[in-house]
Amino acid sequence: MASTHVEEKSYRSMVSEQSDEQIDRWAADLFIDFAKRMGVGTAIAAFCAAAKLDQRGFQRAFLVGGGPDHVIGIDTAGQLAAPIFELPKAVAGLRRIDPKARQKLIDFLVRQREVMSYTP
């Protein structure tokens, strides 16, 4: 357990040293990879948890980031859904609507670092 904590701390430190542009690029890539591997609804839920967004908050970030309103919806399981290639729009939108976006995106990257490093 201690090694996981150290790994998280060192990873958080490394990510925190990156530029906003790099963090956004990594978060966007992670969002797409996460959705491909574990499902769109699960990926959106993880993003919302890190960003402290409810469904309406995610929709706002998605739309403000340039996501088309006609592609976001609720799937049969009751989870938010959008095309995988459009998910990064929520990253851009979060930057525009939340002054704490940088820290929230870092949290998303750190919490989901296993997904980011997964290789089949």
Q: What are residue 81's DSSP bridge partners?
A: 73
For residue range 38-92, what is the model confidence (pLDDT) as tens digits?
A: 899 999 999 999 999 999 999 999 999 999 989 999 888 888 999 999 999 999 9
Cα gap 106→19, rounded to integer Å: 11
What's the Rg (C-alpha) of the chain?
14
Q: How many domains does the chain fold into?
A: 1
**Which tokens belong to 2?**
């201690």
Among 55, 48, 59, which Cα is nearest to 104's?
48
Q: What are residue 74's DSSP bridge partners?
A: 80
Domain region containing 92: 2-117
